[in-house]
Amino acid sequence: MPSRHNASDSNQNINRRNVIATIGAAGAASLAGCGGQSNGGDGGDGGDGGDGELFPLDVQIEVNADNSDRLQMVELIAESMEQSGYFNTTVETYEWNTYVGRVLDPEYQNNGVIPCIGLSGTFNPGSFCNALHHSDNIGACCNLNGINDSELDDLIDDARYGVDVASDSQLRGERYDEVWNYLAEERYSSITHFDLATAVSNTDVHGFEMWPFAEGTYSYNMFAPQDEQVMWLDRDNAAGDSDLSDLTEGGTMRIAISANVESFDPPHSSDTTSTLAQGFLFEALITSDSEGNVYPWLAESYEALDTQDIDRTAYADYMSTVGTTEEGAVDTDEQVIIQHPEDSPAEDDEVRVLLPDDATEAAEDGTYGMQYRYNLQEGVEFHNGDELTAEDVVATYEYVENSVLAPQTFDSLLTVVQIDEYTVDLYAQVPDAEAERSLPGRSILSSSQIQEVEKGNIDPREGNTPIGTGPYEFSEFEDEQYYEVTKFDNYWTEQKGVSEAFSWFDGSGDFPDGPVIDDFEVEIVPDDSTRSGALQNGEVDSTYGLNTATLDDFKSSEDFLVYGVETGGYEYIQYPVNVAPFDDARLRKAINHLIPRERIVENVLNGYARPAWTDLPALAQGSGTADADALEEEIRPTNEYDVERAGELLDQVAADN
């Protein structure tokens, strides 16, 4: 499940990996709908006019129009800058797809405007610095304004890759602290707040707890022994003080989700609601608790066998040479595992790449960064009656090749090798502190189904019933309306018993051996207020992502319970650092001081968020800092709303001009 977390709502946040690969080549600026936006396009250039007066500086902030909270936030920032007297701000809005195409264009950085966008981070601290600032992500997601600081790149890389950080989590935290401090000094971007994920259930739903990623909320709640978490339905007694001893089994839970299921095929979809649906049906080798600690799941146990100090050039001997296309893409139908770091598809006619077979060969010859060994649980049954074996794991990872999830899988994974019927090895390309979480994250599919279907077609719309090992079986799906899943009779943890299945389980004897709810009926209701109404009318038992303005009403009602937890979702604005006068860090810091983070959280998000006093959310503090409190104490003053300090900085900038 980890590393699935950058799945996201299409209207909210960008799924980073999904868009990386081709956006640079496509340019993407020619999307229909761009035409009307040119009126303010050069607004940011007005500031560097030659009349000697830098201020008031014309600044344009851009945002997608279809997220009203984000838009309100941008208006608030713009108004705050305007009131300082140093800026004339304009807000320009775009339709979402147009906006994505616009900001991911590598030329965007020359516009001199400030974009605002949202991202979904994970337990990996890198998702809060790498995506925004690493030069690899220029023209991709989401280094929008071309930040190219090799010192920063090295700091970020050194915090994740290398034998030292892979083995020493304290050192890793210290490395990340350096990153956060460096960013506070340069302030290329301003993260405004970290989102709170919220779900609302009626009081028939007992034992509910929020999971930091919306797409995993229901699968986490139905059965998560790692946190001793299980929900059940009891329509006679109200939830609130109930505990495991009150647990009742059975019932049909009705939930409302916010978007259609694009696909039931795990590696061929990454949006929130598809991932949510797959959570009922599929499982991975590992699972994770709400703090990001990894537990073996379909694997009975795993261990890191070996780590070698190599970088990606070490694979040169195993690489094949392939041509490139005019657009600057690698011309091959096979999955590119690694592209030689010294070659560039945009400039060279040929590049060296490591293809899947080469990768396996390299691993078997002993060229790899890390080697992890997974011992599978025996007696795990798929919904079609097959038993889970190492073959299924190997077939699953082959099936991931060239899928939507391929980029995020193969930026770390080298290859998967079967050892015996119940043992597989997963290799990482280089020593990687995230490997334990990211390598085994894929949902395991049935090899017999993979053989039968065309890639991407594990979906009822294609006539294929999705088959996994999960506690629920697919039962019915009406496109854009609803789907239903029913409990799988031979679910393996129930066959084995929870304490038998998981040697790490040390919870209460009352904890059930599997999910206790019989069926889930999942209604697809895109409109937030309609979902809210459906919940109030008793048409569904639970939903999520409601308008924050209405949550307090639910909270004060006796019939509903509101659950919230800080997530990895965050929003940020990024300064056009390559365009004067934004190349001056003092100007960027000054604007940062004009961002009223507390007002944003209070007035725009109705308190359902946390101001980003540092760039690191609670979620990723486990591996992202050596000392979270000390970090906040140090960095928070640079992110406070402070008009006076902003004025001082801006006066300095003006004086130097």
Q: Does 314 bind other proteins (CB under 8 A)?
A: no
**Which one of residues 2, 296, 596, 611 is an interface residue with other proteins (CB under 8 A)?**
596
Q: Does 55 bind other proteins (CB under 8 A)?
A: no
Q: Any residues with CB less than 8 A from the CB of 128 and at least 6 apart, and which?
A: 121, 191, 568, 570, 615, 616, 617, 620, 624
Q: Does 395 bind other proteins (CB under 8 A)?
A: no
Q: Taking the complex as a whole, how short is the minimal distance between the CB of residue 493 and other proteins, in angstroms? A: 33
**Which one of residues 14, 100, 131, 601 is an interface residue with other proteins (CB under 8 A)?**
100
Q: What DSSP character marks residue 144? A: T
Q: Does 532 bind other proteins (CB under 8 A)?
A: yes
Q: Any residues with CB less than 8 A from the CB of 523 and at least 6 apart, and which?
A: 254, 255, 256, 257, 481, 482, 534, 539, 540
The count of chain residues that interact with other proteins, using the rule CB under 8 A, is 81
Nearer to other proteins among residue 451 and residue 537 (C-beta): 537
Report the alpha-carbon distance of residue 418 to residue 423 in Å, rounded.
6
Nearer to other proteins among residue 150 and residue 556 (C-beta): 556
Nearer to other proteins among residue 91 and residue 286 (C-beta): 91
Report the alpha-carbon distance of residue 169 to residue 156 in Å, rounded.
15
Select the span of 64-72, 295-303, 444-452, 465-473 touching other proteins (CB under 8 A). 64-72
Q: Which residues pair with 17 in a beta bridge?
A: none
Q: Taking the complex as a whole, how short is the minimal distance between the CB of residue 524 and other proteins, in angstroms? A: 9
Nearer to other proteins among residue 259 and residue 619 (C-beta): 259
Select the span of 236-244, 524-532, 580-588, 612-620 touching other proteins (CB under 8 A). 524-532
Residues 255-284 touching other proteins, rule: CB under 8 A, are 262
Nearer to other proteins among residue 271 and residue 358 (C-beta): 271
**Which one of residues 533, 607, 622, 647 is an interface residue with other proteins (CB under 8 A)?**
533
Look-up: residue for tokens 């090799």?
150
Q: Does 475 bind other proteins (CB under 8 A)?
A: no
Residues 488-507 touching other proteins, rule: CB under 8 A, are none
Among 578, 588, 604, 580, CA closest to 639: 588
Q: What DSSP character marks residue 602? A: I
Q: Does 463 bind other proteins (CB under 8 A)?
A: no
Q: Does 329 bind other proteins (CB under 8 A)?
A: yes
The helix/strand/coil state of 85 is coil
Nearer to other proteins among residue 80 and residue 574 (C-beta): 80
Q: Does 53 bind other proteins (CB under 8 A)?
A: no
**Which one of residues 42, 68, 85, 170 is an interface residue with other proteins (CB under 8 A)?**
68
Q: Does 648 bind other proteins (CB under 8 A)?
A: no
CB 283 within 8 A of CB 501: no
Q: Does 66 bind other proteins (CB under 8 A)?
A: yes
Look-up: residue for tokens 């034992």?
207
Q: Taking the complex as a whole, how short is the minimal distance between the CB of residue 297 and other proteins, in angstroms? A: 29
Report the alpha-carbon distance of residue 348 to residue 569 in Å, rounded.
38
Q: Does 238 bind other proteins (CB under 8 A)?
A: no
Q: Does 137 bind other proteins (CB under 8 A)?
A: no
Nearer to other proteins among residue 372 and residue 560 (C-beta): 560
Q: Taking the complex as a whole, how short is the minimal distance between the CB of residue 7 and other proteins, in angstroms? A: 15
Q: Residue 453: how many CB atoms within 10 A of its CB? A: 18
Segment (H or E) for 423: strand 423-428
Residues 539-578 touching other proteins, rule: CB under 8 A, are 539, 546-547, 549-554, 556-557, 559-560
Select the span of 94-102, 158-166, 490-498, 570-578 touching other proteins (CB under 8 A). 94-102
CB 200 within 8 A of CB 239: no
**Which one of residues 54, 91, 117, 147 is an interface residue with other proteins (CB under 8 A)?**
91
Give the tokens for residue 369. 């960064």
Q: Does 6 bind other proteins (CB under 8 A)?
A: no
Among 16, 185, 170, 37, CA closest to 113: 37
CA 282, 284, 286, 288: dihedral to nearest 10 degrees? -50
Report the alpha-carbon distance of residue 393 to residue 337 in Å, rounded.
18
Give the tokens for residue 214. 């919306």
Nearer to other proteins among residue 66 and residue 178 (C-beta): 66
Q: Taking the complex as a whole, how short is the minimal distance between the CB of residue 100 and other proteins, in angstroms? A: 8
Q: Taking the complex as a whole, how short is the minimal distance between the CB of residue 27 and other proteins, in angstroms? A: 8
| Beta pairing, strands 294-296 & 423-428 | unpaired
Among 86, 122, 300, 145, CA closest to 211: 122
Nearer to other proteins among residue 105 and residue 186 (C-beta): 105
Q: Is 377 left (phi over 0), alpha (psi -120 to 50) or beta?
A: beta
| Site map (CB under 8 A) of other proteins, residues 201-230, x = contact | ------------------------------
**Which one of residues 48, 71, 153, 387 is an interface residue with other proteins (CB under 8 A)?**
71
Look-up: residue for tokens 């978007």?
259
The helix/strand/coil state of 393 is helix
Residues 417-456 touching other proteins, rule: CB under 8 A, are none
Helices (H), 86-239: 96-103, 130-133, 150-160, 163-167, 169-186, 217-222
| Site map (CB under 8 A) of other proteins, residues 32-51, x = contact | xxxxxx-x------------
Cα dihedral across residues 25, 30, 34, 37: positive or negative: positive
Q: Does 117 bind other proteins (CB under 8 A)?
A: no
Report the alpha-carbon distance of residue 225 to residue 325 in Å, rounded.
50
Cα 486 from chain centre: 28
- Radius of gyration of the chain, Cα coordinates, nearest whole angstrom: 25
Q: Taking the complex as a whole, how short is the minimal distance between the CB of residue 605 and other proteins, in angstroms? A: 11
Q: Does 65 bind other proteins (CB under 8 A)?
A: yes
**Which one of residues 56, 76, 157, 586 is an interface residue with other proteins (CB under 8 A)?**
76
Q: What DSSP character marks residue 117? A: E
Q: Does 642 bind other proteins (CB under 8 A)?
A: no
Q: Does 460 bind other proteins (CB under 8 A)?
A: no
Q: Any residues with CB less than 8 A from the CB of 187 and at least 6 apart, and which?
A: 575, 585, 588, 589, 592, 638
CA 589, 593, 594, 598: dihedral to nearest 10 degrees? 140
Select the span of 22-30, 182-190, 228-236, 509-517 touching other proteins (CB under 8 A). 22-30
